[in-house]
Structure 1
Amino acid sequence: MKKLFILCMVTLIFACKEEPKMDYTLLTGQIENPTAQVVSIYNGREKVKDLPLNESNSFSDTLRVEPGYYTFSHGRESSSIFLAPGYDIKVTLNTKEFDETISYSGKGSENNNYLAAKYMANENANLDYTKVFALEEDEFLSKMNALKNDKLKMLNNTAGLSEAFKTQERKNIEYEYFSDLQNYWSYHSYYAKKEEFTPSEDFIKKFNSIDFNNQEDYASLDSYKRLVQNYYNNKISKSDNPLEVFKDINSNGFPQLKEDLANSLRYNIGPNNEHNETLYKGLMAMSSNEKFKEDITKKYNKVKTLAKGMPSPEFVEYENHKGGTTSLKDLKGKYVYVDVWATWCGPCIREIPSLKKVEEEFHDKNIAFVSTSIDKAKDHNTWVEMVKNKDLGGIQLMADNDWNSQFVKDYAIEGIPRFILIDPEGNIVSADAPRPSDPKLIRMFKELKI
């Protein structure tokens, strides 16, 4: 009897002992045809960790992360990945067909194979968003509702997904849907060529159901983060009194939202913004980053010197593709339309056909068309060949120090393409002129009687 009692106690002790829970994610993988030496995991824009590849092009490491969506990045390719403590995931892929071959196995793999399949389903749907956003409101809503329902159907029909993940993914799909609706206002105006377009009241009221101050979703869902930032961006840009919007953000917004908004709205301070002073004061109040405040103050003071009628900053002895050098002063007596671009810039290259048409229409007028490349010195030959191959007209120049060229700094250029119009006396007409593809440019030229 005594032996039986001891045996029962030993059994009870071992039966009650729990295995320790993993408080980390184990992530391993194998990459065929690697294009870099590491795999990187990001939470939004913040890097969580670099996972180096070994000699056999595999990697293995632990990650201490909160449950949520992250970005798996290798070289120039990336994919959404859902991580949580306790997951033990193996990733395999071939970089020659990154999205088509990425696959997961192990604990947590079902959620991630779903994300990979969702991405490919979106790709295979092959939606032409230029046509979708050109649709009239009812047709557009019908298309977006069908797209959302397809995503929900796929989610509900995928076996093995955790309930926590399904809850998050339903939110994600809803926020993706509202992001598309949010873009309709400006995109429809552009693609349907309706400059004064405004959606119906019923369309706008759909956003009343969204809580734009959800700190938890902001921290965990990039789709919600984009939605919130665009919401406040649009609210400020469309407001007749942006100061009131800033007061609301500063009073009710949580700290991370205010910092992120400050960083994104800094680019709105520009030569043609009539609300620069209000924007500057609002950003200074939102941010607690002293370096940011210092930088934004410098930009604000610089932009004030770029008003219409102010003397234009100069470029001096830029290399001319046809030989020799050209300075801005060489073109005095003519209007000068400057295109700041680079060979690697897709939006810049998309403007070339429109620029050629404008150049042809005004070829015998008192205006010089100057394209200034800010390619790096190592890409000089690429610039030379592209000018030849695309038969670029006008005056083709290369800046003397890419982004660090004084002309670029003086015009506070932070993104390209950027177009500038200077009058025959060398004064600024517009430090941020319309693009060649924008009908406003031709109207501006005709108003100036060029």
Structure 2
Amino acid sequence: MRLIYLLFLIFCLSSCKKKKEVNPFVVLSGKVDSEGVGFLTLFTNPRFKYQEQQELKLDIQVQKDGTFKDTLEITEGHYLLQFGNNKVNLFLKPGYDLQIKLNDRNISYEGKGAQENRYIKERDSLIAKVGGNNFYQYFSKLPEEKFLKYADSLEKQRLGVINKHGNIDLHLQKTEKLWANVEKAHKFQNYSFTRETIDTSYLPSKNYPNPLEELNINDEDLLNVGLFPMLIYSHFGAVAKDHGVDDWEYIVQDSFPISNPKIREVAFYTSAVFSMKSFEKLEEFYEKSQSFIQDNEFKEAITKQYLALKELYPGKPAPDFTLRNMENEPVSLKDFNGNIVYLDFWASWCKPCIEEIPAFKKLQKKYKNRKIVFVSIGIESKKESLQRLIEKHRLNGIHLYDPSKEKEFKAAYSVGGIPHYVLIDKFGNIIKNFSMKPSDPRIVNQLDSLLD
């Protein structure tokens, strides 16, 4: 009897174990009611990508009658399904058996995973309706009180859609709520300095909320929210500046508010990606990164950027170039030998670039008859848009535009953001790769000393 009981117990335990096993595959099937679609493309959604989600791009064959079916071994996360010129956001998880009907006007779901994707569809409709405003064109023009109410309203609308679909996957539910929270915090973080561009007398009120106040900044699920690393970068970067240290120095301190080692590592890495170019203690930073960072991909990326920046140290030869001017004539850096060269990387859509134009024109006028050349390099823009701005603002100097060489040229000068200024001496060597902008009052003293 005892033996029978033990055998029964073992059977029950093994049965329970089998029930807990998760199907590692996603079955994706359905029909496309759109002519000329021979295959679908599924790829990772870069906007909503989870931190541990795989990078993926694969094609799914569509039969002549429009049906398709494929069994996929993929990780949980957000994906884009493209058919023709249309893209559909999907949430997929091992074990799903999702049937989709697609056409140019609508999409519907059935099967396991349908509830989650009906939520995604409604979320995207809300984002399309209320999520198109940006800071420079909209939020910065709102008075503080109105802005705060509007940001709260957007969060509540997003949370309302999540709560309406309360029976969806719990992990998806949590990360989507965190998205709503982080988006509001991101707005709170960025409002102050963008508002100042509209109203120079603006100061935050005494009751202005701490952007991170409502977040548990040690919750690792926040790393599944794409905006979160940028939020902590901008927030703690400002705090580090108040403390008189570089971002990375503040992050490695024991007093840094984030104790979760994984989140601190992401904070350190994000700081490196966006601020390494301005670190005064570059060698010390790099040495610290090798012990502080555990993720090998992070280490490799930091090393690559560090080595590139070392090639742009003061005194190093400036990367040579031959680009086209607005008349399509070739212009080389060597053409300016014997002159100080002030490079300006800008774009037609870049408001901070355009805001520097008056100061840039003053610099050009001040040094009109001196041995200095001002070279503006238009990137990520259409030639016609640049030409209109050049004519509108009556810009002098040399204007270059060569999209065929843009990628390699930006990489050579480690251009991560714009405006980006570079100062080169009369021998063609780097003086400063991340030079002061034209509106910085210190630039005049520096140029005067170089021209003496």
**TM-score when scaled to structure 1?**
0.69
Residue among 75, 78, 84 paired with 1:70: 78
Corresponding residue for 2:12?
Answer: none
Corresponding residue for 2:6?
Answer: none
Report the number of matched residues: 407
Tell me: CA distance 1:93–1:47, structure 2 relative to 1, closer, same or farther (3 Å): farther
Q: Are 1:44 and 1:71, in contact at CA under 8 Å, matched by a contact in 2?
A: no
1:307-340 per-position Cα deviation (integer Å, ceiling 9, x unaligned): xxx4762635544454654333433565533234
Amino acid at match of 1:38: T
Corresponding residue for 1:152?
Answer: 159
Q: Are 1:40 and 1:73, in contact at CA under 8 Å, matched by a contact in 2?
A: yes
Corresponding residue for 1:241?
Answer: 245
Counterpart of 1:105 in 2: which secondary structure?
strand
Amino acid at match of 2:28: L
Pair 1:110-2:107 in alignment = no
Question: Residues 361-372 of structure 1: matches in 2 within 5 Å?
Answer: 366=368, 368-372=373-377
- In structure 1, what is the Cα distance between the partners aligned to 2:353 and 2:210? 40
Tell me: CA distance 1:226–1:326, structure 2 relative to 1, closer, same or farther (3 Å): closer
Corresponding residue for 1:395?
Answer: 398
Pair 1:184-2:207 in alignment = no
1:20-42 per-position Cα deviation (integer Å, ceiling 9, x unaligned): 98624322355546698621135
Residue among 297, 307, 318 paired with 1:313: 318
Residue among 267, 283, 293 paired with 1:287: 293
Counterpart of 2:54 in 1: which secondary structure?
strand
How many angstroms does 1:212 deviate by? 1.5
Residue among 325, 328, 342 paired with 2:333: 328
Question: Residues 228-307 of structure 1: matches in 2 within 5 Å?
Answer: 228=232, 230-242=234-246, 243-248=249-254, 252-255=259-262, 258=265, 261-262=268-269, 265-270=272-277, 272-274=278-280, 276=282, 279-288=285-294, 289=296, 291-292=300-301, 294-303=303-312, 305-306=313-314
- In structure 2, what is the Cα distance between the partners aligned to 1:193 and 1:268? 26
Counterpart of 1:139 in 2: which secondary structure?
helix
1:228-273 per-position Cα deviation (integer Å, ceiling 9, x unaligned): 4554455445542342432346994424751574255233122x44
Residue among 103, 128, 147 paired with 1:123: 128
- In structure 1, what is the Cα distance between the partners aligned to 2:302 and 2:227? 28
Q: Are 2:79 and 2:92, in contact at CA under 8 Å, matched by a contact in 1?
A: no
- In structure 2, what is the Cα distance between the partners aligned to 1:261 and 1:58? 47
- In structure 2, what is the Cα distance between the partners aligned to 1:58 and 1:339? 53
- In structure 2, what is the Cα distance between the partners aligned to 1:148 and 1:423? 51
Q: Are 1:233 and 1:265, in contact at CA under 8 Å, matched by a contact in 2?
A: no
How many angstroms does 1:298 deviate by? 1.4
Q: Are 1:151 and 1:173, in contact at CA under 8 Å, matched by a contact in 2?
A: yes
Q: Are 1:250 and 1:285, in contact at CA under 8 Å, matched by a contact in 2?
A: no
1:98-117 per-position Cα deviation (integer Å, ceiling 9, x unaligned): xx745433333233222222
Tell me: CA distance 1:225–1:416, structure 2 relative to 1, closer, same or farther (3 Å): closer
Question: Residues 212-231 of structure 1: matches in 2 within 5 Å?
Answer: 212-215=217-220, 217-218=221-222, 220-222=224-226, 224=228, 227-228=231-232, 230-231=234-235
- Higher helix content, 1 or 2: 1
Counterpart of 1:153 in 2: which secondary structure?
helix
Counterpart of 2:28 in 1: which secondary structure?
strand
Any stretches of 5+ residues in structure 1 without a counterpart?
1-15, 376-381
Pair 1:41-2:44 in alignment = yes
- In structure 2, what is the Cα distance between the partners aligned to 1:335 and 1:35? 57
Amino acid at match of 1:432: F
Any stretches of 5+ residues in structure 2 without a counterpart?
1-14
Tell me: CA distance 1:278–1:162, structure 2 relative to 1, closer, same or farther (3 Å): same
**TM-score when scaled to structure 2?**
0.68
Corresponding residue for 2:10?
Answer: none
- In structure 1, what is the Cα distance between the partners aligned to 2:166 and 2:218? 33
Counterpart of 2:61 in 1: which secondary structure?
coil
Tell me: CA distance 1:169–1:332, structure 2 relative to 1, closer, same or farther (3 Å): closer
Corresponding residue for 1:87?
Answer: 96
Pair 1:25-2:30 in alignment = no
